[in-house]
Amino acid sequence: MHITYYDGSNDIPYCREPTEYITVSYCDISDHRPPRQYYDMHTTERKNGRTDYYILFVISGSITVSVDGNDYKAEKGDLVIYYPNIPQKIVKRKSDNPANYWIHFNGYAIPEMLSQCGLAKSGVYTVGKTDVISDIFKQMILAQRLARNKIHINSLFMRFLSEIASSEETMMPEDPLSISQAERIVQGIIQMEWEYQKPRRISEYAKLCGMSPGRFSVVFKEATGKTPQRFIEDIRISKAREMLINTSLSMSCVAENVGFRDPLYFSRVFRRSVGMSPTEYRKNKLYFEKGDM
């Protein structure tokens, strides 16, 4: 049995610029491995593409896709991306044992983000990291099912892009020197913003960006004006300020929640950054609500 699905709902030229920085419309898993399917071949065709971006990540078997009139076989660990208004044709055959995650997303920041990740145009890219990326997709799908807020889902999507950006396979040009060091630092910044609560070594971020710890620290400061450690501390202090104003958590709980294991050290760093202790900051809540934040 063959099924062909023609999606004509989006056969309208893309003419409206997205108004949000980044937004995930929907994500899910498509599992056509036996015995889950009841047909020999399933074809999805969108002759004018969609009005948003679409990514398909293969986790089992292979899927045949058409991009710019050329057919490709995407296999386990491959990522397929379609930009808005690019014709799409996706063929899944029972004999190929296919399964994949997929996601629709948009936003005015997306083109630059995709470029930083090495996904500057529609096509098929080898990524690998199947287990890691599958875990992120599971978290996004769960967050979506539980109707979590957009910030939570979008942050998971940013983590997904971070994994793509840090892939050591074909996502990066063969000559790493062709990428400016400032662009490589972006990978570390994204990771820092995602996992600011975790006690990571600077050497781990340096490895992510393909640099020695010493070189990473120098280039990072040139790009951001801050040392890596200070950059992470500033993220933590910013989150702490929000928690001090919007929650009634104790100082030790706030410190732990933003990644400081020692409340006294948290207080010292907070005072150095803000000019007063966390307790004083909370007492002056009304003052800060008027404009400091």
Q: pLDDT tens-digit profile of 117-138? A: 889 899 999 888 888 899 899 9
DSSP letter string over 195-221?
A: STTS---HHHHHHHTTS-HHHHHHHHH
What is the per-residue pLDDT for 120? 87
Look up residue 28 and give its two tokens: 């899910």
β strands within 7-98, DSSP E: 23-31, 41-46, 53-60, 62-67, 70-75, 78-82, 88-93
Q: How far is CA 237 from the centre of its chain?
A: 23
Evaluate if residue 177 carries a pLDDT over 50.
no
What is the per-residue pLDDT for 83? 96
What type of residue is 82? Y
**CB atoms < 10 A from the CB of 293, how many?**
9
* Closest CA relative to residue 62, chosen from 71, 54, 50, 51: 71
Query: What pLDDT band is residue 178 in, cutting at 50, 70 and 90?
Result: very low
Choose from 26-30, 54-58, 182-186 the range with maximum mean pLDDT: 54-58
Tell me what percent of the residues of the chain surpass a pLDDT of 70.
Answer: 82
Average pLDDT of span 8-29: 68
What is the per-residue pLDDT for 148? 67
Tell me what percent of the residues of the chain surpass a pLDDT of 90.
Answer: 34
Query: What pLDDT band is residue 86 in, cutting at 50, 70 and 90?
Result: very high
Look up residue 278 and give its two tokens: 């966390």
> Looking at per-residue confidence, does 179 or 258 come out higher?
258
Query: What pLDDT band is residue 171 in, cutting at 50, 70 and 90?
Result: very low
Evaluate if residue 169 carries a pLDDT over 60.
no
What is the per-residue pLDDT for 13? 42
What is the per-residue pLDDT for 284? 81
